């Protein structure tokens, strides 16, 4: 049995405590200085820092990244198809291999406090399995410091290019965990065929589904209604995620509430990247909808934004929502940590105001110790004094992977 003791930490900004971790779980929380430390236990000095659950990035494109490479001017054009073509024209010309870029980005995220990841890997007639294979390799190399789920993602749609459906199915057989879909109406212009293909592949492989939805209001509503129909018909309760869903935020409240009733009944979750027009987080909380946060693409051929730091993206979630109160900002932290685990099916979605979610006895010892006077201050300041633990073992400190965790 492996034991680690975190001394003098403040769980969710509360009183100083010693937190005991055994075999990858939190086994005890004691007033500071009172925990019994076995001779062979590993001790980590908290130095009065905050203790939080580690971050879960549940909407990231690890295969669409230029983290660590020279900055380049943005060359994309508006629209999903045009941006996809811009990526397709440029991704093979990068200064480093796809495998190098994926690994660099994942390791940077871990160093900043992320230990759960749900990432997209683009599969299509252009890339084949090349991008998926790079993500699979990075997952394998980081098994001891991060949990990674991979979404086989048809960024170019499923109906515009012959062979796309077959590529998605092949990716699931190759090791992807989740079946992706995208804009059934706006991109493929045949939502029934698109969603039938996605859910058929998911049913065949016993896999969850994650649908990118950039469509505007009523179009998004129509696609969502079709997603709901298939989720119910195939009894995929708790196994379907709608990502982005920008347009849903623009619906009349009565129409959105009607959809959320179905989401609650069927356990359909959502993932956001904290856009300019954010999802109504308070309303989602009212219905108990699991909501996770993600970085999306990072300094890639779609956008110059993104830096692998989920604490930074938590700030963005609070900012775009216009939050100022500590309880609202702390709930953003809950979304970025335990909320993401809920989307991945590894936790229950914390309710707004829930005391110290993710830090109870029996919870996973996937943690980040971070400097800050309060949780809100930590979000505002985003300091580099962080220690990251995965399954009770330190894997990063001061934004660098620890030597023992390096491959």
- The answer to whether the 3-53+356-405 and 55-343 domains have the same CATH topology is no
Integer Cα distance of 284 and 293 in angstroms? 13
Q: How many CB atoms lie within 10 A of CB 134?
A: 21
Q: Which of 35-44, 141-150, 171-180, 392-401 has the lowest mean pLDDT?
A: 35-44
pLDDT given for residue 404 in this prediction: 63
Q: Which CATH class is domain 55-343?
A: alpha beta
Q: Band of the pLDDT at 37, cuts 50, 70, 90?
A: confident
Element (H, E) at 367: strand 367-370
Percent of the chain clearing pLDDT 70 (strictly above): 99
Integer Cα distance of 96 and 89 in angstroms? 16
Average pLDDT, the chain: 96
Going from N- to C-terminal start, the domains of the chain cover: 3-53+356-405, 55-343
pLDDT tens track for 84-132: 999 999 999 999 999 999 999 999 999 999 999 999 999 999 999 999 9
CA torsion through residues 24, 28, 31, 37, sign: negative
Interval 162-176 mean pLDDT: 98
Q: Band of the pLDDT at 407, cuts 50, 70, 90?
A: very low
Inter-residue contact 18 to 8 (CB < 8 Å): yes
pLDDT given for residue 95 in this prediction: 96
pLDDT given for residue 36 in this prediction: 85
β partners of residue 270: 242, 291
Inter-residue contact 185 to 247 (CB < 8 Å): no
Interval 293-305 mean pLDDT: 95
Inter-residue contact 33 to 371 (CB < 8 Å): no
Inter-residue contact 179 to 147 (CB < 8 Å): no
pLDDT above 80 (res 255): yes
pLDDT given for residue 104 in this prediction: 97
pLDDT tens track for 373-387: 999 999 999 999 999
Q: Band of the pLDDT at 29, cuts 50, 70, 90?
A: very high
Q: Band of the pLDDT at 403, cuts 50, 70, 90?
A: confident
Where residue 194 falls (left for φ over 0; alpha for ψ -120 to 50; beta otherwise) is alpha
Interval 139-162 mean pLDDT: 98
Q: Alpha helix (H) ranges present in 209-277?
A: 217-233, 253-266
Q: Alpha helix (H) ranges present in 275-391?
A: 281-286, 310-321, 326-334, 340-343, 375-381
| Torsion, Cα of 350, 352, 354, 359 (10° steps) | 50
Integer Cα distance of 340 and 269 in angstroms? 10
pTM of structure:
0.97
pLDDT above 60 (res 81): yes
The DSSP symbol for 70 reads -
The architecture (CATH level 2) of 3-53+356-405 comes to: Roll (2.30)
Q: How many CB atoms lie within 10 A of CB 94?
A: 17
pLDDT given for residue 406 in this prediction: 43
pLDDT given for residue 277 in this prediction: 86
Integer Cα distance of 130 and 223 in angstroms? 30
Q: How many CB atoms lie within 10 A of CB 184?
A: 30
Q: Band of the pLDDT at 199, cuts 50, 70, 90?
A: very high
β partners of residue 394: 389
């Amino acid at each position: 049995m492996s034991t680690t003791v975190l001394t003098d930490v403040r769980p969710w900004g509360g009183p100083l405590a010693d937190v005991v971790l055994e075999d990858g779980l939190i086994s005890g929380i004691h007033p500071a200085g009172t925990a019994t430390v076995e001779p062979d236990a590993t001790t980590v000095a908290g130095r009065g820092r905050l203790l939080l659950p580690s971050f879960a990035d549940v909407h990231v494109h690890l295969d669409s990244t230029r983290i660590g490479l020279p900055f380049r001017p943005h060359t994309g054009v508006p629209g999903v198809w045009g941006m996809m073509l811009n990526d397709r024209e440029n991704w093979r010309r990068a200064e480093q291999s796809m495998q190098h870029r994926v690994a660099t980005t994942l390791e940077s995220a871990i160093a900043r406090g992320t230990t759960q990841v749900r990432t997209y890997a683009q599969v299509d007639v252009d890339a084949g399995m090349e991008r998926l294979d790079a993500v699979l390799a990075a997952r394998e190399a980081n098994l001891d410091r991060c949990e990674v789920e991979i979404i086989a993602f048809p960024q170019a749609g499923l109906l515009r290019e012959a062979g796309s459906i077959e590529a998605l199915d092949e990716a699931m057989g190759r090791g992807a965990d989740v079946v992706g879909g995208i804009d059934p109406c706006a991109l493929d212009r045949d939502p029934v065929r698109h969603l039938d293909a996605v859910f058929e592949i998911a049913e065949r492989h016993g896999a969850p589904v994650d649908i990118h939805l950039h469509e505007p209001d009523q179009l998004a509503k129509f696609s969502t209604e079709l997603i709901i129909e298939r989720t119910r018909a195939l009894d995929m309760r708790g196994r379907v995620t709608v990502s982005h869903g920008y347009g849903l935020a623009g619906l009349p409240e009565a129409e959105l509430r009607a959809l959320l009733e179905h989401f609650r009944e069927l356990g359909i979750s959502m993932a956001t990247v904290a856009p300019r027009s954010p999802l109504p987080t308070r309303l989602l909380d009212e219905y108990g909808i699991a909501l996770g946060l993600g970085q999306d693409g990072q300094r890639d051929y779609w956008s110059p934004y993104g830096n692998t730091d989920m604490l930074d993206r938590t700030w963005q979630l609070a900012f775009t929502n216009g939050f100022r109160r500590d309880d609202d900002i702390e709930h953003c932290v809950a979304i970025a940590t335990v909320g993401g685990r809920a989307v991945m099916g590894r936790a229950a979605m914390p309710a707004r105001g829930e005391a110290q979610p993710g830090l109870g006895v029996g919870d996973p010892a996937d943690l980040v110790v971070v400097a800050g006077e309060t949780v809100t201050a930590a979000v505002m300041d985003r300091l580099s004094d962080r220690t990251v633990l995965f399954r009770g073992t330190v894997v990063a400190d001061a934004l660098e992977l620890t030597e023992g965790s390096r491959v």
